[in-house]
């Protein structure tokens, strides 16, 4: 293997690791509360419903932070700096959560924790998509979701060890999360800027007006279909998840439909089946989207529906293996929706608007989908209305694949900025599968852009090239068409 190839592979590996750790950190920070909600509520002298309100505000902050940092990453600060700001803010707010003394402090700190985590999630996926080689892109992007399983698992471990009611208390779960987040931040210090973003930034500097960005560009005529797909599917993926995340450990502690937990087995111990399922699911999801189809991944979520009904209706007297198996299978197939978030939705926006586009997607998915679910889910569970909770979960899961089946586009094997290529090809009157058209007439603004197709080595962590080189699919020509 050549030194250049080794350098390229190591750059991709480093970005993947930082995104994976980012998902682990933010999921740990998010999920701790579902395991320690009872001692937290008792310590702060509030109801578990009030703790659920903090969970809801976290989701609201996720949406706001994603769109703010996404917009600034496109136009001003770049991917790397926005990504660093996200994890730094998450580190600080996670630590501060361990010090809150009352409900108002909890609400404020958790909102800002979500604000930074939203930028973290959106920018991580945007950045990795701009480094990843085409033939392994979905596996790399979806594979970062394994960090979600790690985050869930660590939250569970923390809750059952030093954060248990008989040990040092719930605050230490957040202090432990703070330490883990700080390590993730240190790993990111070696990151380099996205090569795709560098090209767009140079285009903008050399040819003002040729690169359209911002919210108006996200809703431009030739982009609107992709934007609509991302927002609708993102919302539906998030819609059942907030209530689930906050409440599923409580269901197993409660003892299921009969209210009788499995003797000698902790409800939290059973939930490890779900956390393992998340890791396995993301690997399968990425492989399937790379090798078979990205569009037809989402219908697999329908398999989660009957197993979610079994989680709801099957008595725990069946024993540990059947009960944990239902959870594993339901978790495996519902997690495939989040693989689509990571490896499909991010590709629906070209590089020049990927930050703000993913910000809007996170806003739809987390603030309006996940956040609403966190609100109604926690309040239904606090009121003991488990039947309504599970009925809504089943209905919302069944809705997720429908828009993809009806209107989704295939992204398997396509170039990173395929929307730009298509608009340039259409403008030139070429066939849809023709190579991208690059204007090169002397004296035209596009002539200057053509020279930027190969930035200097000092600007890029790896060279551009064919479809197997990280980020090697930049298109030339004006980007104002899309």
pLDDT given for residue 36 in this prediction: 85
pLDDT given for residue 4 in this prediction: 40
Question: Contact at 8 Å (CB) between 121 and 26?
Answer: yes
Q: Is the pLDDT of residue 453 over 80?
A: no
Looking up tokens 């299978």, which residue turns up? 329
DSSP conformation class of 207: S
Q: Is the pLDDT of residue 431 over 50?
A: no
Q: Tell me which of 205-209, 272-276, 340-344 is least confident.
A: 205-209
Question: Contact at 8 Å (CB) between 341 and 365?
Answer: yes
Burial class from Cβ neighbours inside 10 Å (0-12, 13-18, 19+) for residue 259 reads exposed
> What are the tens digits of pLDDT across the range 14-41?
999 999 998 898 888 888 888 888 888 8
pLDDT classification of 173: cutoffs 50, 70, 90 = confident
Q: Is the pLDDT of residue 384 over 80?
A: yes
Which tops the pLDDT comparison, 443 or 61? 61
- The mean of the pLDDT values for the chain is 83
pLDDT classification of 271: cutoffs 50, 70, 90 = confident
Q: Which two tokens stand for residue 331?
A: 């978790």
Average pLDDT value for residue range 283-301: 97
pLDDT given for residue 88 in this prediction: 92
pLDDT given for residue 6 in this prediction: 42
| First and final C-alpha spacing in the chain | 38
DSSP string, 145-186: THHHHHHHHHHHHHHHTTTSTTTT-THHHHHHHHHHHHHHHH
Question: Contact at 8 Å (CB) between 398 and 239?
Answer: no
pLDDT given for residue 109 in this prediction: 95
Handedness of CA 110, 114, 241, 138 (dihedral sign): negative
Question: Contact at 8 Å (CB) between 316 and 256?
Answer: yes
Query: What CATH number belongs to 11-407?
Result: 1.20.1250.20
pLDDT classification of 434: cutoffs 50, 70, 90 = very low
Average pLDDT value for residue range 116-137: 91
> What are the tens digits of pLDDT across the range 352-382?
999 999 999 999 999 999 999 989 998 899 8
Q: Is the pLDDT of residue 140 over 70?
A: yes
pLDDT given for residue 52 in this prediction: 84
102: left (phi over 0), alpha (psi -120 to 50) or beta: beta
Which tops the pLDDT comparison, 49 or 407? 407
DSSP conformation class of 454: S
Average pLDDT value for residue range 197-206: 87
pLDDT given for residue 436 in this prediction: 37
Buried-state track 291-318, b at ≥16 Cβ within 10 A, e below 16: eeebbbbbebbebbbebbbbbbebebee
> What are the tens digits of pLDDT across the range 218-268?
999 999 999 999 999 999 999 999 999 988 888 988 899 999 888 756 656
pLDDT given for residue 166 in this prediction: 60
> What are the tens digits of pLDDT across the range 318-358?
988 999 999 999 999 999 999 999 999 999 999 999 999 99
User: What percentage of residues in the chain have a pLDDT greater than 70?
Assistant: 83
Distance between CA atoms of residues 256 and 252, nearest Å? 6
pTM above 0.85, yes or no: no
Q: Where are the alpha helices (DSSP H) in 45-75?
A: 48-75
Q: Which two tokens stand for residue 265?
A: 């087995």
Q: Is the pLDDT of residue 455 over 80?
A: no
Burial class from Cβ neighbours inside 10 Å (0-12, 13-18, 19+) for residue 466 reads exposed
Domain regions of the chain by residue span: 11-407
pLDDT given for residue 267 in this prediction: 58
Q: Is the pLDDT of residue 284 over 80?
A: yes
């Amino acid at each position: 293997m050549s030194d250049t190839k080794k350098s390229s592979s190591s750059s991709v590996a480093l970005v993947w690791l930082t995104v994976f750790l980012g998902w682990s950190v933010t999921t740990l920070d998010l999920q701790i509360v579902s395991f320690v909600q009872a001692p937290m509520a008792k310590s702060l002298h509030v109801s578990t419903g009030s703790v659920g309100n903090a969970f809801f505000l976290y989701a609201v902050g996720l949406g706001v932070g994603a769109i703010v940092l996404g917009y600034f990453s496109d136009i001003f600060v770049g991917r790397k700096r926005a990504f660093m700001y996200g994890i730094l803010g998450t580190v600080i707010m996670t630590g501060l959560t361990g010090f809150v003394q009352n409900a108002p402090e909890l609400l404020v700190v958790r909102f800002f924790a979500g604000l930074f985590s939203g930028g973290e999630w959106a920018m991580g996926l945007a950045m990795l998509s701009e480094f990843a080689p085409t033939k392994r892109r979905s596996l790399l992007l979806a594979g970062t979701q394994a960090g979600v399983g790690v985050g869930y698992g660590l939250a569970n471990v923390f809750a059952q060890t030093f954060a248990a009611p008989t040990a040092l208390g719930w605050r230490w779960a957040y202090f432990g999360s703070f330490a883990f987040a700080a390590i993730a931040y240190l790993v990111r210090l070696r990151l380099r800027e996205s090569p795709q973003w560098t090209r767009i930034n140079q285009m903008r500097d050399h040819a003002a007006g040729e690169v359209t960005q911002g919210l108006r560009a996200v809703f431009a005529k030739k982009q609107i279909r992709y934007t609509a797909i991302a927002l609708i599917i993102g919302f539906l993926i998030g819609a059942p998840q907030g209530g689930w995340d906050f409440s599923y450990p409580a269901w197993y502690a409660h003892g299921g439909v009969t209210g009788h937990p499995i003797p000698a087995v902790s409800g939290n111990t059973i939930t490890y089946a779900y956390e393992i399922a998340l890791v396995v699911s993301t690997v399968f999801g990425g492989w399937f989207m790379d090798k078979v189809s990205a569009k037809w991944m989402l219908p697999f979520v329908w398999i989660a529906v009957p197993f979610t009904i079994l989680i709801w209706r099957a008595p725990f007297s069946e024993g540990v293996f059947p009960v944990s198996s239902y959870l594993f299978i339901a978790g495996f197939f519902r997690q495939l929706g989040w693989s689509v978030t990571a490896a499909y939705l991010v590709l629906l926006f070209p590089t020049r608007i990927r930050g703000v586009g993913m910000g809007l997607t996170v806003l739809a998915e987390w603030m309006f989908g996940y956040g609403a679910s966190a609100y109604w889910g926690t309040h239904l569970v606090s009121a003991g209305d488990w039947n309504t909770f599970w009925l809504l979960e089943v209905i919302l899961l069944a809705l997720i694949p429908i828009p993809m089946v009806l209107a989704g586009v295939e992204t398997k094997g396509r170039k990173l900025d395929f929307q730009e290529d298509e608009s340039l090809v259409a403008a030139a009157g070429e066939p849809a599968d023709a190579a991208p058209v690059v204007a090169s007439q002397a004296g035209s603004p596009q002539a200057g852009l053509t020279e930027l197709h190969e930035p200097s080595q000092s600007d890029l962590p790896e060279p551009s090239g064919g479809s197997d080189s990280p980020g090697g699919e930049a298109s030339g020509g004006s980007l104002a068409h899309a």
